[in-house]
Amino acid sequence: MRLTVNGIPVDMNGSTPVKRKDGSSAPFRLLLPSSEFTIDVHALAGTFPIDAESVEIRAQGERLAIEPTREDGNAFHYFVPTDHPLLPRDAVLLIASIADVHGTRGESNALTVSIASRDAAMDPFEREDVWLLDFERDHFAITGEVGSDGAPAVRVLPGANGIADFDEDLRLLGLRSEETGSHASTVEHRGARGTNAIFRGFLIEAILAQLRANFFQAADGTQTRDSVRIRFLVRGEAGAPDPAEFRTDGAFSIMGIGGAEKGGDGQELGRAQIDWNNRHADDDSKDGLGVFTTVAARRILKEPIGQRFLGAFLPGSGTPLGMSNDDAAILAADLDPLRIQASAAESGASTSAASASAVARANTLAVAVGIASVALAALIAHEIGHSLGLVPPGLPPCGLFGGENSASFSVAPTDPAHIDTPGLNIMQPGTNLRFSDLATGLPQFNPLNLAYLRRRLLVSGAPCAKD
Condensed to tens digits (0 to 9), the pLDDT of residues 423-458 reads 889 999 977 775 556 556 789 999 999 999 999 999
Q: Which fold has domain 2-124+390-453?
A: Immunoglobulin-like (2.60.40)
Q: Three-state SS string across the chain, please?
A: CEEEECCCCHHHCCCCCEEECCCCEECCCCEEECCCCEEEEECCCCCCCECHHHCEEEECCEECCCCEEEEECCEEEEECCCCCCCCCEEEEEEEEEEEECCCCEEECCCEEEEEECCCHHHCCCCCCEEEEEECCCCCEEEEEEECCCCCEEEEEEECCCCCCHHHHHHHHCCCCCCCCCCCCCCCEECCEECHHHHHHHHHHHHHHHHHHHHCCCCCCCCCCCCCCCEEEEECCCCCCCCHHHCCCCCCCEEEEECCCCCCCCCCCCEECCCCHHHCCCCEECCCCCEECHHHHHHHHHHCHHHHHHCCCCCCCCCCCCCCCCCHHHHHHCCCCHHHHHHHHHHCCCCCCCHHHHHHHHHHHHHHHHHHHHHHHHHHHHHHHHHHCCCCCECCCCCCCCECCCCECCCCCCCCCCCCCCCCCECCCCHHHCCHHHHHHCCCECCHHHHHHHCCCCECCCCCCCCC
Band of pLDDT at residue 151, cut at 50, 70 and 90:
low
Q: Give residue-wise pLDDT tens across range 374-407.
A: 999 999 999 999 999 999 999 999 999 999 888 8
Answer yes or no: is pLDDT of 116 > 70.
yes
Q: Once rounded to an integer, what is the mean pLDDT over residues 238-254?
A: 97
Please say if the pLDDT value at position 193 is more than 80.
Answer: yes
pLDDT at 467: 46
**Predicted confidence band of residue 200 (pLDDT cuts 50, 70, 90):** very high
pTM of the model: 0.95
Start and end residues for every CATH 2.60.40.10 domain found in the chain? 2-124+390-453
